Amino acid sequence: MIINGKSYTKKIDPLLRLIDFIRDEAKLKGTKEGCGEGECGACTVIIDGRAVNSCLVLAASVNGKEITTIEGVSQGKLHPIQEAFIEVGAVQCGYCTPGMILSTKALLDKNIDATEEEIKESISGNLCRCTGYQIMIEGIKKAQDKLKKR
């Protein structure tokens, strides 16, 4: 499979979850496990432009596909979403942050003009126990401005 543009070839157990492949085989530790059951979104990655929970995907099933993890969001320099999250301070413990940023990216890549309702909807599968979400919505709006100016 191809993660952040880099190709990985490996013989694996068919039951290996994508999150385990990413963390243990590809050694990319930015993807987090919070529940392992599809409930929290900490493990969110983008496959074919869509956000999915990597804890519910079998690695074997996405063989050959392109996967984006948090490490692939900032290629060389910070992505506008990351800059915006920094500027508004949308991060506390940070454990939900990678998943949150990927859900945001999946949304804005498709729909840069997303409304507040659509923004809320897009991160509704990402649990944050620290912030209370409002600050993230602000961050995402700021990211929209930045991306539009680019």
Ligand X SMILES: Cc1cc2nc3c(=O)[nH]c(=O)nc-3n(C[C@H](O)[C@H](O)[C@H](O)COP(=O)(O)OP(=O)(O)OC[C@H]3O[C@@H](n4cnc5c(N)ncnc54)[C@H](O)[C@@H]3O)c2cc1C
Residues in contact with ligand X by CB under 6 A are: 37-39
Is residue 62 a contact point for ligand FES (CB under 6 A)? no
CA 122 to CA 112: how far, in whole Å? 12
Looking from the CA of 5 toward its CB, the CA atoms found within 13 Å total: 6
Stretch that binds ligand FES, among 5-13, 22-30, 57-65, 122-130 (CB under 6 A): 122-130
Which option in ligand X, other proteins, ligand FES, none does residue 104 bind, with CB closer than 5 to 8 A by kind? Answer: none
Is residue 38 a contact point for ligand FES (CB under 6 A)? yes
DSSP-derived 3-state class of residue 106: helix
Note whether 85 and 136 are within 8 A (CB).
Answer: yes
CA 20 to CA 64: how far, in whole Å? 17
Which option in ligand FES, ligand X, other proteins, none does residue 51 bind, with CB closer than 5 to 8 A by kind? Answer: other proteins
CB of 76 to ligand FES, least distance (A): 25
Which listed residue (45, 95, 98, 119) binds ligand FES by CB under 6 A? Answer: 95
CB of 75 to ligand X, least distance (A): 31
CA 18 to CA 21: how far, in whole Å? 5
Which option in other proteins, ligand X, ligand FES, none does residue 58 bind, with CB closer than 5 to 8 A by kind? Answer: other proteins
Interface mask toward other proteins for 79-118; x: CB under 8 A:
---x--xxx-x-xxxxxxxx--x-x--x------------
75-91 exposure pattern, b = at least 16 Cβ within 10 A, e = fewer: eeeebbbbbbbeebebb
Residue 5: count of CB within 10 angstroms of its CB: 10
Is residue 131 a contact point for ligand FES (CB under 6 A)? yes
Please report where in the chains the tokens 């930015």 appear, as a residue.
Answer: 30
